[in-house]
Amino acid sequence: MPKIHNFGAGPAKMPEEVYDIIRDELTNFKGSGISLMETSHRTPAYMKFNTAVQETVRRLLNVPSNYKILFLAGGGQGQFAAVPLNLMSRTGTADYVVTGSWSAMAAKEAKKFGKVNLVLPATDKYTGIPDQSTWNLDPNASYVHICGNETIHGVEFDFIPDTKGVPLVADMSSNFMSKKLDVSKFGVIYGGAQKNIGTSGVALVIVREDLLNQALPICPAILDWTANAKADSILNTPPMFAIYVMGQCLEWIERKGGLDKMAELSQKKSSLVYGMIEKSNGFYYAPVAKDARSKMNVPFRVGSANGDEALEKEFLKGAESLGLIQLKGHRSVGGIRASIYNAVTIEEVEFLVKYMKEFYEKHAK
């Protein structure tokens, strides 16, 4: 069996070093003699670890002191409901910038709890981010919601929108900890861990303190940021193992040079793939506008702009024979998608690009 190179969109590849640590500590959490999976969330060992992970998040992103860091169950999609449940009460309306499937899903969920204003014209084709001068922002909105990186369509913000003082909320599930950002420009940042910073089961939420204490009366305690902040993310038994894995991934990022290094590597990896696409004379086609191309998820078609399904099946079959797995595009858009998160190495991307080049040379007309 060939060495596996995992380009899955999530749950995604994790660092080998992290697996080594998990293996060593699986049955002996922090010298306790028992596994974390059978450790009480009220023990000093777990509570100390809980605090340590928060401190790592704060260091990596330089999170200001007036922000709370929460570890919550329900993943990123749970926060699609939590965001309006915690913030919609401010004015009863919210702005959603829909640039792909995930922000569309977030907007749909928010409509259950208040009025949603779609900042951009409705579309089913997501290939870029319209100039902000064309946005229809509501100055009365409780918040403005964006998806920092659309995993399915490969559309990523390379700027922080100016929301004219309205709190900015960002779903960063698939580009969390891939680059530095000014947290003070956001009211809330959230994301599931299973792409860049761990495994499924936990959402990381960073919320400015002045946005607490505003939850709707119907907000369940498990989704109430204020209740969870007061309980230090131990309101009930938290997803401890997922938090543990996330903590190990975050420490790995620090050891590797922090977010500047992650951003440098992301630029190199994505440039390799996009570079091959650009050099293929249309054999490979990336639908997203160059100024919005994701450095995390690279969707492309094979054979033409609309894709040649037979060629794409052959591409995937050949890739899997070489150990290049989970390259199939999302079922809603088809094609190919290479997800190149933090744990995916330069060498793995070079191997993928080598295969892309060989496939092109064999099949291009």
- DSSP, res 117: E
- Distance, CA of 73 to CA of 78 (rounded, Å): 8
Asked if 225 is an active-site residue, the reply is no
- Distance, CA of 143 to CA of 141 (rounded, Å): 5
Task: Take residue 251 and report the two structure tokens written for it.
Answer: 């420490």
Helices within the chain (DSSP H only): 16-25, 44-61, 75-87, 101-110, 225-230, 240-255, 258-278, 309-321, 346-363
Supply φ then ψ for residue 131, to 5 degrees: -55, 140
Going 6 to 7 to 12 to 17, the CA torsion angle's sign is positive
* Catalytic-labelled residue, pool 95, 171, 225, 269: 171
Closest alpha carbon to 207 in 232, 219, 234, 189:
189
* Catalytic-labelled residue, pool 13, 95, 102, 179: 102
Asked if 182 is an active-site residue, the reply is no
Asked if 124 is an active-site residue, the reply is no
- Distance, CA of 12 to CA of 321 (rounded, Å): 20
- Distance, CA of 86 to CA of 79 (rounded, Å): 10
Give residue 202's identity as a one-letter amino acid code: V
* Catalytic-labelled residue, pool 195, 269, 295, 328: 195
Residues classed as catalytic: 102, 171, 195
